[in-house]
Amino acid sequence: MTAEGPRVAVLHHRQWDEWRLPKGKLKAGESAQQAALREVEEELGVQAQVVRPLGSVSYDYRDPYDGRPVTKQVQFFLMTTPRIVSDALETKTFDEVAWLPPEQAAGRLTFSSEQAMVAKAAAALEGDTTLRRPAPLQ
């Protein structure tokens, strides 16, 4: 949340030219929530807190490296952070981050399932005044 309202971090995947929400794989012994918090910190450099689960999606695709079929299930969480970072980002996987209002973030995201999660998060924020504390942009 900023003084201008809620923001969603969307990441640009350098190899596939896709805009995505932060996410990743579970490590051994890790819960979905723990993995989500770790991935947000690794990918965005911010420590976040989970407000509530948003839901999950499952999809099938072919592994781009070996062509084998993969079924992936992703759990999404509404999170808040005391600060957001600038749009500068340089990792092995991602080359840009944008902190956008929910409607703009949904428009930029490549996948409809992630667009739907942003819409759910925006709806959850509509009536939740406890999350309306500004976060400074750093």
132 pLDDT more than 80: no
- Give the model's pLDDT for residue 118: 96
The answer to whether 35 touches 24, Cβ cutoff 8 Å, is: yes
Helices and strands, number each (H, E), in the chain: 3, 5
Question: In the chain, what are the domains?
Answer: 8-127 (3.90.79.10)
Q: What digits encode the pLDDT tens for the residues 57-89?
A: 999 999 988 999 999 999 999 999 888 876 666
Q: Average pLDDT, stretch 43-68?
A: 92
